[in-house]
Amino acid sequence: MWKSGLRKYSAAASSTASAGNSTSISSTLLLTRNPVITADVSKFEAQYYKYQNELWKRLMWTFPSWFYYRKGTISEQAFRELNPGPVFNNPNIEFPRGRPVVVHQRDRRFKQELKLPKTYKEVSQEKKEGGETAAEEEGAKEDNLSRQIVPNSRITKADESKDLASLERQLSRTLYLIIQENSKWTLPTFKEEQVAQGDDTKDSSVTPLHTLAEQGLYKIGGNSINYFNVSNTPCHVHKSESTREYFIKSHILSGRFVPQSESIKFLWLTKEELGEYLEKDYYKEIEHLLSDI
Amino acid sequence: MRINSVNASTQRVVNQLSALSASKKQPKLLNLCKEDLIKHKTITNAWNVYQRKVNEKRHIQLNAQYKSIHEAMEDLKQTSPQLYALANKPEKKKKFPLDMRMPTDYPPTKPWVYNYEPSQKRK
Amino acid sequence: MSRLSIRSFSSSPIASKVGYSTVQPVHHLIPIKKQTLGKRFPELNIPKDDIRSPQYKPKDVYQDRVNEYYQNVLKSDLLLHYYEHDSEAVTGNKARSWGEFSPYAVYRRDRKPKGLSRATRDIKPVTPRNIPELTGISINLYNKAALEESWINISARLQLAQITNVKPKVVYNKSNVLPWKVRQGKECGCKVELEGRDMTRFLSTLVELVLPRIRTFKGIKDSSGDKSGNITFGLSPEEIKFFPEIENFQELFPNLFGFHLTFKTNAGTDERARTLLTSLGLPFYKEVKNVQ
């Protein structure tokens, strides 16, 4: 369907392969950890969402409680106790802020605020009672379906201890892997010849850039990395006179980066932090590849 | 004449219909005073301007990324036609993995899965 | 345009033939809502996104995490994934003209495209301007039981409204098919078109809560699609009950109805649309043909 370059250049490949020998080709791995949690919203965004949400609630239809809580059931009684109806339009009372318009237990002028009967016990109350009950509860926590669900904190331990090598830091941001082999922090870069020499069988043919990056990653970071290579197409080239570094983009999905030699140090950094560790010109060149979030 | 009681299944359908329909459930229409209207318009305008800026920024970044892919491929074509052919191979059957999840509002209890073991396929 | 009414026996150009007008009719091309023309209902002229309109509905009511993920992570990935160097637009198979001198060409539709019954679109290379995107999800529920008892459709409509947070539209039969008891103008189900936050919320519920719990679910068939990037699959009544909105109120929904979901994308081809949907967490599987 697409006109692929593969056919066009396969014939030309063998004849011009020798031309590439003068420049050394290497592939640079842009290994990212995607955000695990949603981005932090700015104050303006949060306020706007709140404003719209309130308007939305104001314009909502009345909750059909007669449908969900059938008359005469215990749940209906519990619901009614939690939600006493609004003040009805009593002709004997003056309403300085306008007369209520009540239909189906809702004042049509305002948003409807509902409280639903809880299906769990409050954690905070239990803890107040004594240490023993709290300890018992801890054990029952995992498998108890009717426990209160408390969301985990968006700030993790790694954030608090400022562990830059942890994959659990800055969960709302994209992290990038950088390594240090000889006193200089760089993105992991692998030269074409190195790997080709190691593999005797593949001596004659070239290794595709993404395979080169993959092999290199396993070599320096161990085998227990589950990663996804976005494409075999490079997303950037860093040029100098005799070297070409092609950027290959990948995402780490699970597992960990375990340096295979002691000389290798590694960090997982956000875009802004990369600016501090990488060379300025280099960072400026690759800035557009890095995600702001 | 008004029918006071219907059988249970009919009542259920009546309830379903009443849950679905708008009758007697709609709130009063919004009737903003002039000041509120101006406030609302200001807020909406501010949001639109903000969104436009965000979108523009994204667009510029994507354009820059596209340009840099193009340049890289142009360069690769000159430097090594062999590698170029391999890099330009269309990957039609490639699918994104299910492990790549969309972010949630709060992190899972274990934010990251560390114990990954490579499968047999991959040496 | 005035028409010549003189008949000539020997030869008559098409333009002056009796009963023909070469001028295209212009009336009724633009639908006019007559209520909006007068002064009686001024609010009908207010656009829907204005707060003074009775149809106003606030849109950005919470942080949309699916869209955020698409914009921040997937878009740039998809751009790189679909990139093909030196690729050009592939022209689709288009309808052909009848030729310049054909006497039958007037008022006639263009000739069918070569070898196909339908024209196909051009396939353009992916650039930052046309990165494939999920534009909508449409849900169609065909309710056979409603053909006999039309009140059954009420439960179907409510079920769909419950799941999607959008009030469904009723669908009516278009034709008469006696053996199937299909009669024209009779209710036969309902449909919903999802967009924006309704769509993303439905998608995240489907991908994170419903599909993982269906044991027999292998994925969407790899062959599904309408050739222009819209992918369809169906859910059976047993699978519907995994929607949390239904699951917690099972006694309120004694009969459930299966439906078809169509993911509408602007990808252009099915192959691209499939990649896009996998990136949003929908699995696909390759059908193995039964070989004996």
pLDDT digits (tens, 9 = 90+) for C166-195: 999 999 999 999 999 999 999 999 999 999
Has residue A5 been placed in a domain?
A: no
The range of the structural domain enclosing residue A283 comes to 22-37+158-289
- The per-residue pLDDT for A130 is 47
Q: Do C52 and B37 touch (CB under 8 A)?
A: yes
What's the rounded Cα separation, in Å, for the pair A56 and C201?
Answer: 16
What's the rounded Cα separation, in Å, for the pair A99 and A28?
Answer: 71
Neighbours of A262 (CB within 10 A): 6
- Residues A238/B76, Cβ–Cβ less than 8 Å: no
Has residue A261 been placed in a domain?
A: yes
Q: How far is A251 from chain C (nearest CA, A)?
A: 10
Least confident of A19-33, A67-81, A213-227, C110-124: A19-33
Residues A58 and A189 placed together within one structural domain of the fold: no
Residues A173 and A127 placed together within one structural domain of the fold: no
**What mean pLDDT is predicted for residues A15-22?**
46
Categorize the per-residue pLDDT at A15 as very low, low, confident or very high, splitting at 50, 70 and 90: very low
* The amino acid at C257: F
Chain B CB contacts of C42 under 8 Å are none
Residues A133 and A172 placed together within one structural domain of the fold: no
- The per-residue pLDDT for A7 is 42
- The per-residue pLDDT for A3 is 43
Report whether pLDDT(A139) > 90.
no
Report whether pLDDT(A289) > 80.
yes
The answer to whether A5 contacts chain C (CB < 8 Å) is: yes
Residue C190's nearest CA partner among C153, C240, C236 is C153
The answer to whether C77 contacts chain A (CB < 8 Å) is: yes
Residues A198 and A230 placed together within one structural domain of the fold: yes
- The per-residue pLDDT for C105 is 81
- The per-residue pLDDT for B123 is 44
Q: Which chains touch A (3 or more CB pairs under 8 A)?
A: B, C
Q: Which among C60, C128, C278 has CB closest to B96?
A: C278
**What mean pLDDT is predicted for residues A79-107?**
92
Q: Give chain A's mean pLDDT.
A: 83
Q: Do A293 and C72 touch (CB under 8 A)?
A: yes
Chain B CB contacts of C161 under 8 Å are 20
Residue B84's nearest CA partner among A8, C120, C215 is A8
Between residues A286 and A8, which one has the greater pLDDT?
Answer: A286
Residues A26 and A58 placed together within one structural domain of the fold: no
The domain C134-285 is placed in CATH, from the list 3.40.50.300, 3.40.50.970, 3.30.420.60, 3.30.1440.10, at 3.30.1440.10
Report whether pLDDT(A19) > 60.
no
Residues A138 and A205 placed together within one structural domain of the fold: no
Q: Which among C58, C86, C87 has CB closest to A52?
A: C58
Report whether pLDDT(A196) > 50.
no
Chain A CB contacts of C65 under 8 Å are 38
**What mean pLDDT is predicted for residues A7-27?**
54
Quote the number of domains for chain A: 3
- The per-residue pLDDT for A23 is 81
CATH number at residue A260: 3.90.79.10
Residues A133 and A174 placed together within one structural domain of the fold: no
Q: What is the pLDDT of residues B13-48, one digit of tens each?
A: 999 999 999 999 999 999 999 999 999 999 999 999
Categorize the per-residue pLDDT at C108 as very low, low, confident or very high, splitting at 50, 70 and 90: confident
**What mean pLDDT is predicted for residues C20-30?**
66
Q: Which among A1, A231, A251 has CB closest to C83?
A: A231
Report whether pLDDT(A79) > 70.
yes
Residues A126 and A218 placed together within one structural domain of the fold: no
Nearest CA in chain A to C167: A61
**Alpha helix stretches (DSSP H) within chain C:** 65-69, 75-82, 152-164, 196-205, 237-240, 244-247, 270-279
Nearest CA in chain A to B61: A288
Categorize the per-residue pLDDT at B91 as very low, low, confident or very high, splitting at 50, 70 and 90: confident
Categorize the per-residue pLDDT at A200 as very low, low, confident or very high, splitting at 50, 70 and 90: very low
Diameter of chain C measured on Cα atoms = 81
Q: Do B102 and C280 touch (CB under 8 A)?
A: yes
The answer to whether C204 contacts chain B (CB < 8 Å) is: yes
- The per-residue pLDDT for A198 is 39
Q: Which of residues 55-114 of A touch C (CB under 8 A)?
A: 55-56, 59, 67-68
The answer to whether C81 contacts chain A (CB < 8 Å) is: yes
The answer to whether C275 contacts chain B (CB < 8 Å) is: yes
Least confident of A72-76, C19-23, C236-240: C19-23
The answer to whether B96 contacts chain C (CB < 8 Å) is: yes
Chain C CB contacts of B100 under 8 Å are 279
Chain C CB contacts of B29 under 8 Å are 54
- The per-residue pLDDT for B6 is 84
Residues A140 and A165 placed together within one structural domain of the fold: no
Categorize the per-residue pLDDT at C22 as very low, low, confident or very high, splitting at 50, 70 and 90: low
**What mean pLDDT is predicted for residues A152-175?**
93
Residue ranges per domain, chain B? 30-87
